[in-house]
Structure 1
Amino acid sequence: MNLLHGWVVSAVVLLSLALTGLGFGLVTRLGNGFLHGTKRVVTILAAQMCMFVAFASVINYQFGFFRNPGEISAFLAGNPGEGKVGVVAPAALPATPTSDPRYALTWKDSSDVGLKATNFLGPESGIKAEMRAWVPRGYPAAGVKYNVILLLPGTPGNASAIAPAIGAPNALQAAIDSGKIPPTILITSDINFAGRVATCADIIGGQKAETWFARDVPKAIQANFNVTTNVDGWTVIGPSMGAYCAARLGILHPEVYGNAVWLHGIDRPLDDSFPITPGVVNSQRLSALIKNVTRQGNLMFVSSTEDSGTTDDAQRVVDAAPDPSKIYHDARTQGGHGWVQWIKEFPDILTWLAKIHPTAHAS
């Protein structure tokens, strides 16, 4: 059952409302005694659960957190992987697009207006997931190599809905039209593979998420779009758990993503995102990963004292970095944790990119 189909959501909402109405009809029937009172309490609780399901279905439809009941089950269960975290060696962007037919993708209209969607089986990672793409007005323009922004959702979440939720298409088009940034395409991708809490790492015996983002996704983008090979033109952005993933990719793979943006994220990954092996979770702190990097890309951290813990987490990574001059920490005093805040901050990301790469037009 596809939880993102409109008719499914409508059916769930109507059924929930009908059951709620029936429940309150039973509650108001005359009667007394312990048994009747117990039935009333149970009916009221059931009615509240029905309304919760209806509300959750609408929210899920709006933001695309889960596509089917299996993803909900896997997310709630945690299902930690086996073994430890594997190392994905750095590998620069290919100078020319791959001719491997497995990267030639078919794109179709999606539920996000202006974005195309595809399902892609990564040849190197073995992960099958959805990607969505937005291109600016006039694409493809003759002689133009486009910059790339990869936008990652949080946990839960997937490739759908995040682009319009954060206002990316409109903000990008306005920045391109004004000459603030070079022509840029936008790609969104799942990060919670098979409904599991995101790691964006290769888990030995589990998902190869880092390979997906560092190898498969860049090659797929190059094979399907006319994009630059200059890493200054490749940026990965994410809010919340997506922020952890974005910064992790920027720290470990600056040879692919020259810029990474952490929006209201975390330093230490969620406990159920990595294998239950002593020391593994702490070893995957961003502040631990960045300490010994031999090459550091550009990193932007956006935090707020109103978003508990984000300012301290961001500063911890900044303090651990070999070259703090390549990190910008936008520490704010206002702004909570959610789309209402992130949509305000997305244009500031584009301003930062324009500042650090004033001449980074595609090449």
Structure 2
Amino acid sequence: MGLTSNAVLAVAVSLAVGLFAVTIWLWPRLAARSAAAVAGRVGLLLATQLLVFVSVALLANHSFLFYGSWADLWGRQQELGTVVDHSAATGASQGVVRTGALRPDVPGGSRPSAVGRIDKVAVSGSVSGIDSPAYVYLPPEYFQPAYARRTFPAVVVLTGYPGTAENLIKGLRYPRTAQERVRAGTAQPMILVMLRPTVAPPRDTECVDIKGGPQTETFFAEDLPKAVARTYRVGDRARNWGVMGNSTGGYCALKLGLHHPERFAASAGLSAYYKAAEDPTTGDLFHGDGAARRRADLLWSLDHRAPAASSFLVTSSLTGEGNLRATRDFIDRVKAPARVSSIVLDSGGHNFNTWRREIPGALEWMSGRLTAD
């Protein structure tokens, strides 16, 4: 049974309730002052509290998908790598290898032309040297004859740290929401490239090119778009590409859009922060390079670099988010020809429930700023 399955949650809750009932039933028999009775009471209390704690933790993970699997929880991978052979005719230099496919969680049957398809892929960065797994959502239109000669806009979608790419599919429901927006006539079909910003796990690189370390910014700004554009029907101009994410992924999205307007025409940060974190999870990102540290401060960058014709979307809440003041500062510092938009909820915390309320509007906003060639 998977970590996020309803069965695991039901078993844990049932055991907790059952042990609580057993504790109530046995308590009179353990009222004596003997060592055995005291040990029995202590054991029952500890066991009951442990199961209640496990149940609450599983319920929280079921709602917010902090961990997508048992392997993710214990910090290890269970799947062995698959060797993929390439010939010169198959385009081995493309940098994207399809390793599987998923059916999107949307009604309409199983045909890709009706519901789309989610490809599980491995992306190899020829410049950065980074390899990362990802999911590529292809909308139904991608498989329909009427769109056979059309390229599609693409959006890089990033999780927070230390989230998994599966969270974007299961917890935040990006493919399902994207298709609902298209069916409602409020967005155009777009390809979603979904992955985590943690391309050198367990280190949080904050989408920075680290001296002597992972070249994460280069991977996202150069390797990933080029590899995807060579593999799928995606344009290779800035107007064809957007990037969005939540939390750490939101910071990365805004950073990539701000520093790489030649690659991304639009970027959206949901509950983003605006300055690279520096803590035990990141290690030494800048190695004393003050210029690199300042560049990773988005508010500083807005004040000190020439603005480009980029579009930014930022989100926060009047109550429940800690980034409201910084978000307002970001909005105030964006200068023409750049444009900035915002979503500010009355209340909402730093969690999946809040982001699910913002994603439909964010996808519609993104759709309105990208074009298909």
**What's the TM-score bracket when you normalise by the shorter of the two chains?**
0.7 to 0.9
Q: Following the alignment from structure 1 to structure 2, what is the Cα–Cα distance between the partners of residues 12 and 165?
A: 16
After the TM superposition, which of the residue ranges 335-344 and 173-182 deviates more from structure 2?
173-182
1:304 maps onto 2:307 in alignment: no
What is the 5 A alignment of 1:157-196?
157-177=163-183, 179-193=185-199, 194-196=201-203
**In 1, Cα distance between equivalents of 2:336 and 2:140:** 37
Deviation of 1:260 (Å): 0.4
Counting only pairs closer than 5 Å after superposition, residues 183-222 of structure 1 correspond to structure 2 as 183-193=189-199, 194-197=201-204, 199-222=206-229
Contact 1:251 1:293 survives alignment (8 Å):
no
Cα distance, 1:226–1:344 mapped onto 2, change above 3 Å: same
Give deviations 1:91-146, integer Å, cap 9, x for gaps.
xxxxxxx9543514114134864522123343333333321121111314222110
CA gap of 1:348–1:305, structure 2 versus 1, over 3 A, is: same
Partners of 2:72 and 2:183 lie apart in 1 by 39
Report 1:1-363 matches (<5 A).
Answer: 14=11, 28=27, 30-33=30-33, 37=38, 40-41=41-42, 43-57=44-58, 59-60=60-61, 64-66=65-67, 99-101=91-93, 103-110=95-102, 113=105, 114-140=117-143, 141-177=147-183, 179-193=185-199, 194-197=201-204, 199-272=206-279, 273-276=281-284, 284-296=296-308, 297-323=310-336, 325-355=338-368, 357=369, 360-363=370-373
Identical counterparts, % of pairs: 24
Contact 1:292/1:322 (8 A) holds in 2: no
| Higher RCO (C-alpha 8 Å, min separation 6) | 1
Deviates more, 1:314-323 or 1:152-161: 314-323
Q: How many corresponding residue pairs?
A: 335
Q: SS of the counterpart of 1:106?
A: strand
8 A contact 2:203–2:282 mirrored in 1: no
Q: TM-score, normalised by structure 2?
A: 0.74
Partner SS state of residue 98, structure 2: coil
Letter of the aligned partner of 1:287 in structure 2?
L
1:216 is displaced (CA, Å) by 2.5
Task: Report how far residue 249 of structure 1 moved.
Answer: 1.2
> Are the aligned partners of 1:112 and 1:160 in contact in 2 as well (CA < 8 Å)?
no
| One-letter amino acid of the structure 1 residue matched with residue 311 of structure 2 | N
Give 1:38 shift.
6.5
Shift of 1:206: 3.1
Matched-pair contact (CA < 8 Å) for 2:104–2:176: no
Counterpart amino acid of residue 260 in structure 1? S
Query: d(CA) in 1 for partners of 2:42 and 2:223?
Result: 53
**Offset at residue 149 of structure 1 (A):** 1.4
Q: Displacement of 1:259 after TM fit?
A: 0.5
Structure 1 residues not aligned, in runs of 5+ = 76-97
Distance 2:212 2:9 in 1: 37
Change (3 A) 1:23 1:170: closer
Matches of 1:323 and 1:264, distance apart in 2: 23
1:65 partner amino acid: F
Aligned-pair CA distance for 1:213: 1.1
Distance, in Å, in 2 between the alignment partners of 1:332 and 1:17 is 37
Unaligned runs of 5+ in 2: 77-89, 106-116
Deviation by residue 1:254-307 (Cα, 9 ceiling, x = unmatched): 221110001122123434254356777676332123333335321111111113
Q: Secondary structure at the match of 1:166?
A: coil
Superposition RMSD in Å = 3.7
Q: Which amino acid aligns with 1:128?
A: D
**Shift of residue 160, structure 1, vs aligned partner:** 0.5
